[in-house]
């Protein structure tokens, strides 16, 4: 079963989490959780967790110049990875946004 949704992280609707996942018999088989921020009228990906394309679960840290830094995240199961990714973005989106903006200025 495939599901996807968007959820806003702030009252102004400038920051959101985009979630996509596939489950089979109650177990997560594929995930993508992405933190996006509205900048200059466009939604910009800041952080993405995923396990797609046959790759192990990882975090992509997006850079303003279009590059991304891939970081493996070692977690036992994709069920745990899904929970971790969603909670990390909800807890740390302000940090990720500040870090992204600081790279624009440097």
Give pLDDT tens digits for 36-51. Answer: 999 999 999 999 999 9
Cα–Cα distance for residue pair 84/51, rounded to 1 Å: 13
In this prediction, residues 26-36 reach a mean pLDDT of: 94
Structure tokens at 31: 């995930």
Confidence of residue 105 (pLDDT cuts 50, 70, 90): confident
List 48's β-bridge partners, or say none: 34, 60
pLDDT at 106: 67
């Amino acid at each position: 079963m495939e599901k996807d949704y968007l959820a806003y992280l702030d009252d102004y609707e400038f920051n959101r989490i985009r979630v996509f996942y596939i489950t089979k018999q109650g177990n997560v088989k594929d995930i993508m959780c992405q933190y996006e921020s509205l900048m200059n009228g466009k939604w910009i990906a800041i952080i993405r967790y995923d396990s797609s394309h046959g790759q192990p679960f990882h975090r992509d840290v997006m850079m303003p110049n279009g590059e991304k830094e891939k970081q493996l995240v070692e977690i036992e199961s994709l069920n745990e990875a899904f929970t971790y990714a969603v909670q990390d973005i909800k807890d740390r989106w302000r940090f990720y946004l500040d870090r992204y903006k600081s790279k624009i200025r440097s």
